[in-house]
Amino acid sequence: MNVIADTCVWSMVLRHKGKPVARVRNEMESLILDHRIQMIGPIRQEILSGIRNQEQFDKLQEYLYPFPDRPLETADYIEAARYCNICRSEGVQGSNTDFLICAVSARNRFSIFTTDKDFTRFALHLPIFLHPISL
């Protein structure tokens, strides 16, 4: 199964060090080597946003280049809005990008690799699969 890596995972792998991050980094490296990682434009934008140093921005942009953006469809945005409404009616809040990730992953039958606990709550109400970290 292909996997959409959430922004928090990319950030953890690219910017942080330490033992808790090692498992996430190892899993991400394994998914990359297996050519299973999928990218969407909104995640790319989040990863690149907030980088003040142009040299770092350029380096990160180049690093992400091998991961082409999956095409998004109008139906993905409509489904993301529907998912937002479903979750909100259940008292679960999330960002527009998070619900777009859910919609794209559901349409393509991708799992979602994230450390964001919001997705665990989304999964109770939406047809999404969360990617487990291998031990």
Q: What is the pLDDT of residues 25-56, one digit of tens each?
A: 999 999 999 999 999 999 999 999 989 999 99
Residue 10 phi/psi, 5-degree rounding, is -55, -45
Q: State mean pLDDT over 86-108.
A: 98
pLDDT at 20: 66
pLDDT at 15: 81
- Do 39 and 104 contact (CB within 8 A), yes or no? no
CATH of 3-130, one of 3.40.50.1010, 1.20.1430.10, 3.30.70.3040, 2.130.10.30: 3.40.50.1010
pLDDT at 19: 64
List pLDDT tens digits, range 102-132: 999 999 999 999 999 999 999 999 999 999 9
Domain boundaries, the chain: 3-130
List pLDDT tens digits, range 73-83: 999 999 999 99
pTM for this entry: 0.93
| Token couple for 36 | 């299973």
List pLDDT tens digits, range 16-26: 766 668 889 99
